[in-house]
């Protein structure tokens, strides 16, 4: 028996009522789990991620949607998984093992930002793309946005790499909002929430943790 909880856990309960295992997500689990023919458990969480769990309770893969998921998944006869989110979209996901990117750290520097990315999935992530979106305001209070990109060839399963975004310079008021996104071919992406930074000339300081 599989159930979610407001504590953010997915519980596996034996027929005699004993706890078999539990898996922790980031927020409430209001979605009812679905199980495929191989025993893989699929469930959404209010943390904005959709989870595929092995029968022993370990993570198989995770897909980051970024908005609440409280609907229950439906599995088609061909294995396609359908899930709806509060962002207004219906998602169709393939049940294959995938690369799964996770942003581990974001650090400022002189004219650059370094993003540490880990592949917590089962496949190599190819053509890993990192995008940094900066929003700042000029002295008249008008917002300006710039996007900076870099790509590295690959990150193997379980491997961690640093992606450097160079030639980042101040283009308005030093107080800046920063957002980081990473993606790759056939991989689950990741992104950070908005956070603040200070950019003065070539010097970039990320003020607070954004993951």
Class of residue 133 by CB neighbours under 10 A (exposed 0-12, middle 13-18, buried 19+): middle
pLDDT tens track of the chain, all 211 residues?
999 999 999 999 999 999 999 999 988 999 899 998 878 899 999 988 889 888 899 888 788 887 899 888 998 887 788 999 898 889 888 766 667 788 888 888 777 888 999 988 777 888 999 998 888 877 777 888 888 899 999 998 889 999 988 877 665 566 678 888 898 876 777 777 667 777 666 667 666 554 4
Choose the CATH number for 2-93 among 2.50.20.10, 2.170.190.11, 2.40.128.630, 3.40.50.300.
2.40.128.630
Element (H, E) at 3: strand 2-4
> What CA–CA distance (Å, rounded) separates 122 from 187?
10
Domain borders along the chain are: 2-93, 99-206
CATH classification (class only), 99-206: mainly beta
């Amino acid at each position: 028996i599989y159930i979610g909880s407001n504590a953010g856990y997915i519980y596996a309960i034996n027929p005699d009522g004993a706890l078999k295992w539990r898996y922790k997500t980031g927020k409430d689990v209001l979605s009812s789990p679905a199980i495929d023919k191989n025993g893989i458990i699929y469930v959404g969480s209010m943390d904005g991620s959709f989870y595929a769990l092995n029968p022993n309770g370990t993570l198989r893969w995770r897909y980051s949607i970024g908005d609440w998921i409280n609907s229950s998944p439906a599995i088609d006869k061909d294995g396609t998984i359908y899930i709806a989110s509060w962002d207004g979209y219906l998602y169709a996901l393939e049940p294959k093992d995938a690369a799964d990117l996770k942003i581990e750290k974001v650090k400022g520097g002189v004219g650059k930002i370094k993003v540490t990315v880990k592949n917590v999935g089962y496949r190599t992530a190819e053509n890993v793309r990192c995008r940094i979106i900066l929003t700042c305001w000029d002295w008249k209070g008008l917002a300006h946005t710039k996007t900076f990109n870099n790509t590295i060839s690959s990150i193997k399963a379980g491997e961690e790499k640093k992606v450097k975004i160079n030639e980042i310079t101040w283009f308005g008021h030093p107080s800046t909002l920063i957002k980081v996104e990473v993606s790759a071919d056939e991989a689950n992406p990741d992104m950070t929430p908005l956070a603040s930074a200070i950019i003065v000339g070539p010097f970039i300081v990320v003020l607070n943790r954004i993951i």
